[in-house]
Amino acid sequence: MSEATERLEKYRSMRDFSVTAEPAGAETAPPRADGAPRFVVQRHRARRLHYDVRLEVRGVLVSWAVPKGPSLDPARKQLAVHVEDHPIEYFDFEGVIPKGEYGGGDVVVWDWGTWRLTKGDDAGAAIESGELHFDLTGEKLRGHFMLIRRDRDQSGKEQWLLFHKKDEFAQEGWDPEDHPRSVKTGRTNDEVAAAPTALWRSDRPASEASVALVEAAPPSWEAPASDELAALDDLKTAGTWVFQGRELRLTNLDKVLFPARNGGAPVTKRDLIRYHALVAPSMLPYLYDRPINSHRYPDGVDRPGFWHKEVPGHAPEWLRQWHNDEADPGETECYAVVDSPPALVWMANFGAL
């Protein structure tokens, strides 16, 4: 068993690798230009916000969880709980750890760079001894730092102090929370949580734990054909319009919804329907996957409108609906989902402006 593998025993013991018995993590650090060991600080919103300070030592990431984060201010001596070594594959992980898994939450790469021991020449021995003097060359963190072991908590975890020494990089009052963005992508934890590009499956071996998430491209939609538009123009004030395979029962087609302005022609319901059919390919990417509330003006914009949430009973069967299973009594239960040009036309006929 290699030393790095041995050191990751703790990491593995806290996670379920039942999927496969492959050893998780290995001393296969990605190549780097200058040969200096790397460090990373990840801002991790799990049950509690903390910063994970990780130093590359002999093929693993030796790690401390720092609730208040590292600072350039020598006066800020921060609690740093020594936690289990992490596999090197975690070095540049940014994304989401599923809820319910160990460390569930979101992670950004808050800082990274290289580090160098400034006292002694054996990082492993210095950590064993509980006193680490080192320099960081990161994008946010620079200069001379110290990690000193102080105590153990009830669970046996080692409590250390992390602080910056006075040097030319020291900055009074420097607060990590004032610099929240990722050095990898420029994103905040909120932005990563809202649209993660990777998932860390801590129940898998490290080499397979990072799962890329690629957002599926939205579908695309067709504009109306010229004969379809001609058929719309040929309808009397009401009738059935066959549009992209759907039968739409249209009413009050010559009703003016927007009165004439600046010498122009008024906009009738027929005009509005034609317009919705034409802009559907551009609008649907924003609508197709979300339930909507419609703001209806059945008698035109000169008369008061009203919000209409519940899908009416006369809606066509093909209109997609979303049911709110958590609706309280009296609350709207079924919302329309406008996911096709005919659905958008149906909303126009319904007076949804």
Q: What one-character-per-residue DSSP string does 2-47 give? A: -HHHHHTHHHHHTS--TT--SPP--S-PPP-SS-PPEEEEEEEESS
| 44 or 184: CB nearest Mn ion | 44
3-state secondary structure of 152: strand
Among 7, 40, 51, 52, binds Mn ion (CB under 5 A): 52
Nearest Cα residue to 41 out of 123, 108, 96:
108
| 39 or 335: CB nearest Mn ion | 39
Task: Tell me how many degrees the CA angle 5-27-149 measures, rounded to the nearest 5.
Answer: 65
Query: Shortest Cβ distance from residue 138 to Mn ion (Å)?
Result: 18
* Count of chain residues binding Mn ion (CB under 5 A): 2
Query: Shortest Cβ distance from residue 51 to Mn ion (Å)?
Result: 8
Q: Counting contacts by CB under 5 A, is residue 15 touching Mn ion?
A: no
Among the listed ranges 51-59, 146-154, 255-263, 293-301, the one in contact with Mn ion (CB under 5 A) is 51-59
| 52 or 85: CB nearest Mn ion | 52
Question: Which residues lie across from 241 on neighbouring strands?
Answer: 248
| 45 or 269: CB nearest Mn ion | 45
Query: Shortest Cβ distance from residue 15 to Mn ion (Å)?
Result: 13
Query: Shortest Cβ distance from residue 22 to Mn ion (Å)?
Result: 23
Query: Shortest Cβ distance from residue 351 to Mn ion (Å)?
Result: 52
The gap between the terminal CA atoms of the chain, to the nearest Å, is 69
What is the C-alpha to C-alpha distance for residues 1 and 96, in angstroms, rounded to an integer? 31
Q: Please write down the long-range contacts of 95-99, taking CB distance under 8 Å and 24 or more positions apart.
A: 95/192, 95/196, 95/197, 95/198, 95/199, 95/200, 95/210, 95/213, 96/192, 96/193, 96/196, 96/198, 96/199, 96/200, 97/46, 97/199, 97/200, 97/202, 98/199, 98/201
Q: Which two tokens stand for residue 22?
A: 């492959």
**309 to 348, contacts with Mn ion by CB under 5 A?**
none
Among the listed ranges 50-58, 67-75, 116-124, 230-238, the one in contact with Mn ion (CB under 5 A) is 50-58
Query: Shortest Cβ distance from residue 137 to Mn ion (Å)?
Result: 23
3-state secondary structure of 231: helix
Among the listed ranges 40-48, 148-156, 244-252, 269-277, the one in contact with Mn ion (CB under 5 A) is 40-48
Among the listed ranges 46-54, 68-76, 188-196, 223-231, the one in contact with Mn ion (CB under 5 A) is 46-54
| 102 or 288: CB nearest Mn ion | 102
φ and ψ at residue 207, rounded to 5 degrees: -70, -15
Query: Shortest Cβ distance from residue 67 to Mn ion (Å)?
Result: 10
| 69 or 342: CB nearest Mn ion | 69
Among the listed ranges 39-47, 113-121, 320-328, 344-352, the one in contact with Mn ion (CB under 5 A) is 39-47
Question: Which residues lie across from 66 on neighbouring strands?
Answer: 51
What is the C-alpha to C-alpha distance for residues 103 and 90, in angstroms, rounded to an integer? 13
Q: Which two tokens stand for residue 236?
A: 């009397």
What is the C-alpha to C-alpha distance for residues 276 and 280, in angstroms, rounded to an integer? 6
Q: Counting contacts by CB under 5 A, is residue 85 touching Mn ion?
A: no
Query: Shortest Cβ distance from residue 46 to Mn ion (Å)?
Result: 6
Residue 51 contacts residue 137 (beta carbons within 8 Å): no
| 38 or 44: CB nearest Mn ion | 44
Query: Shortest Cβ distance from residue 50 to Mn ion (Å)?
Result: 6
Q: Counting contacts by CB under 5 A, is residue 44 touching Mn ion?
A: yes
For binding to Mn ion (CB under 5 A), which residues are involved?
44, 52
